[in-house]
Structure 1
Amino acid sequence: MLAPVFGHLLAELAAAPDPDMALNNLERYAAVVDRSVFFRVLTDHPGGLGLLARLFGSSQFLADALRRRPNLLAWLLEPRTMRQWLADDLEADLAQTLAPFAAREARMNALRRFKYRQLLRIASRDLLGDADLTVTTEELSRLADVCLAEAWRLADATLRAQYGAPLDGDGAETALAVVGMGKLGGDELNYSSDIDLMFVYGADGETEGGSEGRLANGDYFARLVREIVALLESVTEEGYAFRVDLRLRPEGRMGPVVLSLDGYRTYYAERAELWERQALLKARACAGDERVGARFMELARAVVYRPGVDASIVGAVRGMKREIDRHLPEKGGGNVKLGRGGIREIEFLVQALQLLYGGDDGWLRERTTLKALFRLTERGYLAPGLGHALSEAYVHLRTVEHRLQILHEFQTHTLPDDPDELGRLARRVGVSGSPARAASAFLRRHRAVTATVHRAFSEFFAERPAPRNRRLRVPSLLALQATGFRDPERARHNLRLIVEGRPLVPYEAALGRAMERLLPNLLDAVWQSPDPDEALNQMERFLAAVGPRAGLIELLASDTSVLAGLARLCAGGDLMTQLLITQPELMTALADPRAWERPKRARDFRTALAVVFAPGLAVSEQRDRLRQVKQAEELAIVWRYLLGVTGIDGYSREMTALAEATLAAGMLLALGPLVERHGVPRTADGRFIPAVIVGLGKLGGRELTTGSDLDIFLVYGGSDADGHEDGETDGAERVEAHTFWSEVVERVAGALGDITAAGVAFPVDLRLRPGSKGSGFASSVTAAERYYAEYGDLWERQTLTRSRICWGDRRLARRVRAMIRQHTFGAPLGPRGLKEIAEVRTRMELELGKETPGRLHVKFGHGGLVDVEFLVQALELRHGAGRPQASWPSTIASCAVCRRRCGCCPRGRPTPSSWPAPCRPAWRRRSACRRATRF
């Protein structure tokens, strides 16, 4: 029965990291199952051969786990199993696993079976290349979270039955939170990690009493912690769940296993050392009471991230690493975690930068090392080349660590000395060739990686001589305060960084001289900007990102108008500045008057986006180019607005034109591969079934701003009511027209809204489509007409007042416009509808505006943008029936139309109908405020 797949089986075994081990484990597995059924499964699921070869040739402990539970192979071969599981999926699976069992021991055995079953799934995806390092470690961490939560629930229920609920001094119930530290807290767990934990309870007090009497809360929660640890660590016939390490708690091994929130607050305020602040960088409330966990995380952030820069941090972290190095000989060479150029050096470098700058720059507050590296590079704290090299090094080192531990589930970090074992490790890492050749290639790569890491670490933590005296002195604190800086200390620190450079991006001599020439003009430009503090913050980040590009610095030093524009851009915050930080070369384009001397039209943006479709580009490259072009054009639009070339209305029109051109490019990206695979949708008699995209909200009203979503829905069908919408595609893989157009719009949302290395083009929101979640992503025009006629709500009528066809077939567009007008303006809005709109607006003001004497909300607050929008929409809905000229998708245009043409707003009458007159300037002022906050 194996004959049909025998050749494939031999090829997969030969390609396994350890073919001998893979064959042995395959034989042992076949010995415990019905071989005829097993061989039939392999024949029916050819992909199962590759899975088994990689699993059996990489991990002995997982091969043993599968042999003990051979029926799990069928589960692993199900498509729904081999996908990324979220926390909700794991919780549901665990609940189903535990449901048949009530006794403590039975539930703990079931918990361990669940853990190893999920380990098989996660490791299989990892070894097959279906999950990258970030996804793998995140899934391992979520697995630990759900196991922790179950242990907490079981232990807490047991103790509450014995002693009653714990109460604080006021008689209110309090509870325990579990805080993950280290790799668990950072969502970076290994296959054989200890889980570093701390435990915190809400307040001191006493339990209410139970079968065993009462306990002080401290004693109750200490017992609870010990019970949780025992449930996880105890070895049963099914193994153990997780090893627990509590040494990161206050006082380490000598301290209590649990403290109250006040206890932690007192300890961290009086006795915390730097290493404890460093450890809290990765703290995460991962199980237990959510409210207590949230309060602890607020405390942790205040302890870790302090305003200003403390240069002593670098020396203290350097001392910690020196102490680790002192003990390394005892651990042997080749330690990928603690050795020279190892994981710990990357972590220490990242954490030192977070401690230095995270107090002032909240974007750096990231628990996961790989994501933190990206953010540090993005913000300019690491030079781009170095940030990329360290990220690649981290992925390499963590992958090696995983492949060491996946073999036997041992917590090991050391490369094997035996050449054959090293060759097998190299093949597990993914190096091809014989074990000897693989080992040689692996060592070359590994040594290059560790050399890069150690060089960066050494340069950052090296003892530095005092900086040479500059010819240009940084202004004093008193001078900075006198010239308008709200935070002169931070301003002076930023100026020092501008003059001297950051620790890992120091200036060459020529660049330093250029910076000195720039500084006087820079100070003038910053002082004249709307917000000097923010302008200087963002200017420092931009100049750090410029790095060795002396030409850009010379450009800014010599052209004060460009520098003034940059200062105004920086004063607006980091949304636009971030584009310049990631692509400093865009500054050269902005300096060219042709980039901003006149507004652009839609055809200009379409021309710019043509590079997305250059021959030979992969889909991922096309998506990145789409984002890069959109971002560059958006930056130029903002630049024109800030320089006064365009006003608020012109700015929004340009942003909308850019969005429409980007949407059209996204449709081409979506349609190309689908048409190639499925063909085009046609009716039974061969007529093409077209589609249109309806833009709503800011897109429909041509009022887009920076950061706006694109609210859209897609309608397909014929231009008349003759049933010209049912059919299927005419290609090799035929699908129904509804499926085709639904997949198109889903792909468009991804093409524009997915996060790639180049960021996001436009987030796409499909929730306003007819029927919303229950309708699929596309709707036939007949279904849309029926939905609006039978089920359409008032809020949908309001939404459709800002609708406009943005893409698609012209004849179908006429039918869709008629449908929208009929539903929106077919019957005048009556008193009940007006009351409903007023009630909704009041709820929005209370629930979303949440204004206080010191806090105003430009959009949802009293007299805000939504007031103008709802007022104008209500007037349109009331007076638009029979008056096609009474509505216009733009709010500002509708104000004028209502006043001039509808007969509903006579001049000079002090009634509510005269309100649209002052609405236009109010709308513009509020819109300008909102744009400023968005920038």
Structure 2
Amino acid sequence: MNLDHLHKTLVASQYAEQVLEKHKSLLEQDYQRDQFFSSLSKTDLKEIITSEVAHITDEMQWMSAIRILRARLMFRWIWQDSNQLTNVIQLTQELSDFADLAVSAAKEFAYRPLVAKYGEPIGYGGKVQDLIVIAMGKHGAQELNLSSDIDLIFAFDEQGETNGRKCIDVQQFCIFWGQKLIYLLDHITADGFVFRVDMRLRPWGDGSALAISHGALEKYLSQHGREWERYAWIKARIVTGGKEGQELLQMTRPFVFRKYVDYTAFEAMREMKAMIEREVLRRNIEDDIKLGAGGIREVEFIVQVFQLIYGGSKLELQDRKCLVSLHHLGEAELLDQKAVIELEDAYLFLRRIEHAIQALNDQQTQSLPTEPDLRQRMIDTLGYSSWEAFLDVLNDKRAKVTYQFEHLIKEKEADPLIESFSQLEKQLNEILDENAKNLVYEFWHGHALKKLPAKAVQRLKMFWPHLIEAILQSDKPQTALVRLMPLVESVMRRTVYLVMLIESKGALQRLVKMATVSPWICEELTHYPVLLDEFLSMDFELPKRQDLEDSLRQQLLRIEIDQVEDQLRVLRLFKKSNVLTVAASDVLAESPLMKVSDALTDIAEVSVQAALHLAYEMTAKKHGFPLDADGLRCSLDHTAFTVIGYGKVGGIELGYGSDLDLVFIHYMDEQADTDGQKQISGFEFAMRVAQKFMSLMTTQTLDGRVYEIDTRLRPSGEAGLLVTSLKAFEQYQLKSAWMWEHQALVRARPIAGEQSLRQKFEELRCSILTLTRDEKFVREEVLKMRQKMKDHLGSSKEQKKEGIFHLKQDAGGIVDIEFMAQYAVLAWSGSNPDLAHYSDNVRILEDAAKANCLSSSDATALIQAYLSERAESHRLALANQSMQVTASDWHDTREVVCKLWQRLIDPSAMFALDRNDCV
């Protein structure tokens, strides 16, 4: 060995002296292979570990071999560090690579005896389960130091059982697996240890289960995850676990990085920063180059604060490595370049010192030594003439870190709005009526406020002037105040929302504007405050179908099939949050009516598809799979089941409060039994799928229900079976259906289920609608049904006299136009089959014009009237108002509709200008 290099190594490390004494011959072999001078890639390290331990089957021998290897590698790293043959980034990368490979090797070794005893762990989905090992902290960021412990979390994809003679559940198997992995690495023997393993960052910390399922972890983070855990999960990285591990990590990203600028993190980080400052003073840890003032932790904290706040909108800030993200902060101009350079320089210097401290005795410490001998060793290694000269440089670099840390998210200065609060309140009082004034008084003097924690009251008082200022700037201040008061009361315990609204004036102004337009939105937010988080993060673009499907699939993916309550929660919140997004886009971005309806329909269809899949899977898990009508085995990919949407969902014209008109159709062998242990007939299987679907969609909970479902349009109505075979549906439509049922079929289309069956239904629908019909008979039947609806649902004579027009049900309203479109299909598609292609009114009317069944001007006039009336119906729904409007405002539109109604359906009808009605 090079004696000068060896001398520097031994000066730098008493631990190296011990390793040399114990393993001299092995170290000489390593030296001769040039391992002391070259860098080691992860592949190189893997080959070294494999050559040392892969052939060993005895546990004690395996533990001894990997510990001796660790000692040899530590000697090499100390040699390189003390002789400046490496740098901080290269050294921390190699240490982290070794940790990854040691964990993987221990995991593999621990698996064999467990499988021999219990069999393989099989998930409910039939796949062998892997132990997902998540590295946290410096290990996750690939920044390990010379004597780091490693922070790990153990997880697995899904629950299930082992397949051996002695059967245990997957979670217990993974707990045993993790325990053995820890023992193999952490246990101190005569040869030392490999890594100290810290598991305290797992959900609920010490005392909780050592391994957690994907679904349980997701539930924990969404319901119980705390701000410091978001901070910790920034550095999370999958060490083992393959595709399932990466999916699990992807699931955690929205918890860590909010998709908007996260103003709530400001307050949380201020509190964490203050805690760090108090800890430095309380513990007197100035000599700790990690935890002391100006230390490593403060550099990391500066970077991670910006990551938490901006990482959701600036994806480049999601990198785990401190220096990489620091450079991105400079590029994004969130930190000036001088600060970036100073922080990087200080960080690398401090990490170098950290390695010099830990090399002395292989101890997990960052405190400067107090013994003169150890101090001398350090300054000799680092190249300083004296301890004082070293401290001068150290203190200069720490001072620069301290400056940046102290100027980061400083405590907020006095809020000028609070100082001018009395003036704002005076302005507000001048425009409020007595009822509104009483509402405010009762809020501030009520029991709810008295029960609030002091901190919550303080935040509420900080928020109040901001709310008043935004309300005074609105065009309907009293309306906004009255509608927002219940919302403020419902979230005043969830003070993060108040903080966010204080920090983001734009979000507060949008909320006030929404309140002036839509009490319905305010009520949704008040009843389900969890939606406020979604509202505050909106970009006010209408959701795209693919994004909706991906989002719901990811949310449901890891919920166990028997966790119905969690499935209900996900379905409800998915529907509510996305409908809220559409409403916000409608109001604030003024999205076109047709786009709004498309989006609302997409939300419903995606919800229906997901609920159907769950219902089918639940039924099949219990009873096995049925046969289809052709004798083929059904499966999750071949369900032989479809859901038909009628009415507004069928016509792609959903509104905000619309229920769903659905019919269930199957293509199963009703007599053949399923292939599970609890066999039932194909007919009963189809029934149970429909019943479970209805339960998932309509069960009423504190969070409401997903959708109201109406199934009365099925064959024979309420007296008929809930599910019908395709053949029985065809027979009913051809032989027993009333004309109004064929009218309903015009607006029917498959919205979920198997594609081949959906195609069969489409073909059947077209064949029924394109039957040749007597136009006079169709006209009479349509007119008869329309009159019934007017009598039962339209405005009364007294209301008409008072100048009231029911936008939907009265003459000249929405239903008249819908009936004319349906008449066009039933009367004319026999000779013009293209008329039966679409289920929505606008395209039916357009096709009627193309087929010369209607003039282009008539079709255009009807479409314009239809869109005008539907747009108003949307506005009224958002405003929580009925469909009854002032008749005189709609005179011209109704006249157009009524004249066309007279020409197409009822020649005896005429539009009376003085009565604003068709008679």
TM-score bracket, normalised by the shorter chain, equals: 0.3 to 0.5
Q: Higher relative CO (CA 8 A, sep ≥ 6), structure 1 or 2?
A: 2
What TM-score, normalized by structure 1, do the two folds share? 0.45
Given the two structures, how large is their TM-score scaled by the length of structure 2? 0.45
